[in-house]
Structure 1
Amino acid sequence: MAEFFMGFSEYFQRQQQMGRGDAIALIDEQCSLSYQELTQAITDRVTWFSQWPQEQHFFALSFNADIWSVVTYLACLEAKIPLLLLDPQAVSELVTPQLSRLGVCVWIKNQQVQLVLANQKPLCRKDLALLLSTSGSTGGAKSVMLSRENLVSNARSISQYLPMGEQDCGIASLPLSYSYGLSLLNSHLMVGARFVLTGQSLMTKDFWKLMREHKVSSLAGVPFSYQMLKTLRLERMDLPALKVLTQAGGRLNIELAQHFYQLAQQSGRQFFMMYGQTEATARIAYLPPQYLPEYGDCIGIAIPHGELYLRDLLTNERFEEINQPGELYYQGPNVMLGYAHGANDLNSATCITELATGDIAERLANGLFRITGRKSRFIKLQGKRLSLDEIEANLNQAGMRECIACGRDDTLVIAFLASSSRESIQAYCVKTYGLHPTQFKLLACPVFPRLSNGKPDYQRLLVSAQAGMTALPAIADLPLMAKQDAEQGTEQ
């Protein structure tokens, strides 16, 4: 068990002991670092931290996709300095209150800019290593507290079920401040692989140039990424080194799942659909590729060293029956320490032994788990309990394929793209759910607004509809990637 919880530096030292000290670990637009150079850079960065008094050692880092930022992140883990990771695109007006509330001492924006925040000296629990903001739609800033053991155990589990090793190369196709993006970095470094750091979007030519130049072997994306990859015709690209595709960050619709499974089969690649939450560091479950043709709507099985099970929605008792809905729970060494809403939470003595995912699921006879809804994705309209996920699925099956449902009790909002008809959606809701047109709002969108992790920005849709808008303003005369960038919010 002691080996299981080795820190990242010990894994880097192991690479050197195996004669791989000169093997490349990190690549960015400026330079590259071998594992030996990375180890030394971490040591030097820890020394650099001494410019701030010991009592000010609680940092926040705007986590840019460059070597300098990655070294700073790893050095904080090595020096046991609690670190809050921030989206570098987040606006200061949103970040500053969060830093104040948590009591962050030093905000490291980049190599040139570090801000010492006055009167900030919080007491942190000794096992606190990292804080990641959740991506909820309420706009409330709460952070998930993670330990070094959480990070290392999750990275190791990922490296055990995905086909990855020292000969492989990954790329930062997602923000590193997002738990999924961070897990890509951690798992590749753990196995001694190479990792390409870039701020380029997969919608740019430069991104695909990096893919070819560095022989990237695995590519990760959220559902929105795979919509774009289909548009880009991934199958036509000359990417002989690419052998693994991974997807997480939300449910991938069955048509896209089958599309990329078929492409993977035709090109000799593997396609892994995965499920996770920031509260479990990143990954919770994965679907072995052989199940995808028949069970593409399932999240699969627990990652190595983890366990999935169900509890009754009313009694909370654990049960083993198949095809029965219950709340999905998870146990494993990657489960968070707890939430931090403010500085007082940083020294809590909480010990979480199981994670209530908030998802409603069922276990199939073959042991796979299938999510059927989310507890928080239910609203009540005139006493009727409605599943927002079910509304989206039903609209999709009825031919209205580009719809997003969100809301709060007594407020249902359905956002739709031009491919769907306002009149058709309204008629469907009236007939199927018995709703009066005054009980729901329809919002036309040129493109769906999304958070930086690619998930729909439910909060923006809800606020816009409640403000009386019937359509979001068009983003005219912009190329596709510019539209995507313009619509993305900050991860909360």
Structure 2
Amino acid sequence: MNLVAPSARLIDAATGVVLGGADLAAEVGRHAAAYAGLPPGVVFARSGTSVPAVLRYAGALRAQRPVALLDPALDPAVLADFVRRFSPAVVVGLAEGGAGADPGERPGDYRAVDDGVLGPVWVRERTCADRPHPDLAVLLATSGSTGDPKFVRLSRAAVESNAAAIARVLAIGPDEIAPTSLPLYYSFGMSVLNSHLAAGATVLVVDGGVLAREFWQAVSTYGATSLAGVPHNYEMLHKIRWSPAKYPTLRTLTQAGGKLRDETILAFHARIAEAGGRFHVMWGCTEAGPRMSTLPADALPDRVGSVGPALPGGSFTVLGPDGAETDRPGVVGELVYRGPNVMMGYAESAADLTRGDEQGGVLRTGDLGCLDADGFVWLRGRLKRFGKVFGIRVNLHDIEELARDQGPVVAVSGPDRVVVFVEGGTDDGTRVLAGRLAERLRLHRSGFDVRAVERLPQLPNGKIDYRSLEALV
């Protein structure tokens, strides 16, 4: 499998080194050859934001090696548990992540090798008896660095089809330059990398994230043309009054990874449109390799709140109240996605990696929503995101929508009440919000515990850390 088109390039912002054309192809081939000298099986790749991490990933795909992209800051105990249960042939990227990203002690059944191409690695002494399925290409943890025991199994066809579909709807071509604004082990960050390399575009490898001065210096120096972000990224940029006008080469902004407030979407749409660019809201999940839909830029502002129609090759239906699937407009139920990018299934052990496609291209998303007459998706929350107030079931997503005018908010379920966390809130504001929610939902205000926090906690991929908030309840 080769995702790197002939015209693709990698720019290392830290050194200024550019790899492209025959040189990039040779480097990917060199890394693929290095894997050939190692025992067969899965590659665990601790992947920071670096050119060597990209080359180890691309080389594994070229060598037909299934590769698990892992956060280099993953707790050593969690990494050790993953290694124990999945028996990878090799663990690469041991030096990734810098200070505080120690992989921990080498497992007893692995030997340390300083490979001339791959760098320091752990190599399994004995070949694992469970051989990965030949279609398997990529493994992604279902919740980043939280230690969730499951991997999502993505086939080569899923990865390739999703990269091609994203490149098509975003019109990614050889003249595009995308900075690495998201971690490579996060599905959205991986999809940015895949779609640009497959389309023959340039990936600007720069660490630090969108609030780092060095990031924007690299954007200016190398003429980046797009920016991908999750809601927290855009909320923070909104707070500091960031403007794309300062970066004249930027022409595309994309957002996924959760619900962004409508007013923030419209603000960034207006800013980039004024500069002659476009803003795309996207929706997906790791299980869909990972994008499922994209809102066309010209659908804003009229269709703000929608995540758009399915990507080319995909389709949506709704599982209605009667248990039957339908594509009739306005019916609210669980959204069901069909497409070539749907995962093969989950994996909790090495034995699971031997299994073939268990989904048949069909994914029940776990999201509530409906379709409009043009097939655009309108999300209404998660099936499992419900709480109870005095025994009455309430939709946590709806509560967050009612409180959006307060800024970034998260609602979680507490003991017979709902706890709402408001970023940057005030004592007076929280009291008023609790009263407003009680009045709107016709419940006693003691059922709503509204708390001000300086900043909502995040996972390394920029998504809200719901588990940390639930632990405070």
TM range (shorter): 0.7 to 0.9
CA displacement at 1:323 relative to structure 2: 1.2
Distance (whole Å) between structure 2 residues aligned to residue 240 and residue 205 of structure 1? 17
The partner residue of 1:407 within 413, 426, 445 is 413
2:31 aligns to what?
45
Distance (whole Å) between structure 1 residues aligned to residue 389 and residue 345 of structure 2? 33
Q: Which residues in structure 2 correspond to 1:468-479 (within 5 Å)?
A: none
Q: Which residues in structure 2 correspond to 1:287-436 (within 5 Å)?
A: 287-312=295-320, 314-353=321-360, 354-396=362-404, 399-407=405-413, 410=416, 412-420=418-426, 421-433=429-441
The partner residue of 2:187 within 165, 168, 179 is 179
1:489 aligns to what?
none
Distance (whole Å) between structure 1 residues aligned to residue 278 and residue 122 of structure 2? 45
CA displacement at 1:369 relative to structure 2: 1.6
2:214 aligns to what?
206
Which of 108-117 and 69-78 deviates more?
Answer: 108-117
The question of whether the paired residues in 2 share the 8 Å contact of 1:174 and 1:220 is answered with yes
The partner residue of 2:153 within 134, 140, 145 is 145
Aligned residue for 2:148, secondary structure, equals: coil
The partner residue of 2:12 within 27, 50, 55 is 27
Which of 108-117 and 441-450 deviates more?
Answer: 108-117
CA displacement at 1:381 relative to structure 2: 4.2
2:112 aligns to what?
none
Instruction: Report the CA distance shift for 1:195/1:331 in structure 2 as closer, same or farther (over 3 A).
Output: same
2:56 aligns to what?
72
Which of 331-340 and 80-89 deviates more?
Answer: 80-89
The question of whether the paired residues in 1 share the 8 Å contact of 2:178 and 2:196 is answered with yes
- 2:267 corresponds to which letter in structure 1? H
Distance (whole Å) between structure 1 residues aligned to residue 416 and residue 370 of structure 2? 28
- 2:259 corresponds to which letter in structure 1? R
Which of 299-308 and 29-38 deviates more?
Answer: 29-38
Instruction: Report the CA distance shift for 1:377/1:59 in structure 2 as closer, same or farther (over 3 A).
Output: same
* 1:61 and 2:83 matched: no
- 2:49 corresponds to which letter in structure 1? A
Distance (whole Å) between structure 2 residues aligned to residue 105 and residue 438 of structure 1? 55
2:74 aligns to what?
90
Distance (whole Å) between structure 1 residues aligned to residue 458 and residue 206 of structure 2? 20
2:87 aligns to what?
103
Aligned residue for 1:52, secondary structure, equals: coil
* 1:276 and 2:262 matched: no
CA displacement at 1:29 relative to structure 2: 2.1
Aligned residue for 1:212, secondary structure, equals: helix
Which of 404-413 and 31-40 deviates more?
Answer: 404-413
Instruction: Report the CA distance shift for 1:188/1:361 in structure 2 as closer, same or farther (over 3 A).
Output: same
Instruction: Report the CA distance shift for 1:408/1:355 in structure 2 as closer, same or farther (over 3 A).
Output: farther
Distance (whole Å) between structure 2 residues aligned to residue 270 and residue 115 of structure 1? 45
Which is strand-richer, 1 or 2?
2
| Deviation per residue, 1:269-316 (Å, 9 max, x gap) | 11111111111112100111111111110011111111111111x433
The question of whether the paired residues in 1 share the 8 Å contact of 2:257 and 2:463 is answered with yes
Distance (whole Å) between structure 1 residues aligned to residue 298 and residue 419 of structure 2? 37
Instruction: Report the CA distance shift for 1:409/1:372 in structure 2 as closer, same or farther (over 3 A).
Output: farther
2:115 aligns to what?
none
The partner residue of 1:461 within 457, 466, 469 is 469
Distance (whole Å) between structure 1 residues aligned to residue 415 and residue 357 of structure 2? 32
Distance (whole Å) between structure 1 residues aligned to residue 73 and residue 466 of structure 2? 19
* 1:126 and 2:134 matched: yes
Distance (whole Å) between structure 1 residues aligned to residue 172 and residue 383 of structure 2? 35
Identity value in percent = 31
Distance (whole Å) between structure 1 residues aligned to residue 246 and residue 192 of structure 2? 23
CA displacement at 1:251 relative to structure 2: 1.2
Instruction: Report the CA distance shift for 1:464/1:99 in structure 2 as closer, same or farther (over 3 A).
Output: farther
Structure 1 segments (4+ residues) deviating >6 Å: none
| Deviation per residue, 1:382-435 (Å, 9 max, x gap) | 432211100111123xx5444310237856332223424343344345444465
Distance (whole Å) between structure 1 residues aligned to residue 367 and residue 415 of structure 2? 19
The question of whether the paired residues in 2 share the 8 Å contact of 1:402 and 1:419 is answered with no
* 1:81 and 2:65 matched: yes
- 1:43 corresponds to which letter in structure 2? G
Distance (whole Å) between structure 2 residues aligned to residue 418 and residue 50 of structure 1? 53
Which of 430-439 and 167-176 deviates more?
Answer: 430-439
- 1:406 corresponds to which letter in structure 2? V
CA displacement at 1:133 relative to structure 2: 0.9
| Deviation per residue, 1:137-193 (Å, 9 max, x gap) | 986331110011111110100111112211111110000101110111111111111
Root-mean-square deviation over aligned CA pairs:
2.3
* 1:261 and 2:245 matched: no
Distance (whole Å) between structure 2 residues aligned to residue 201 and residue 322 of structure 1? 39
Gaps of 5+ in 2: 96-117
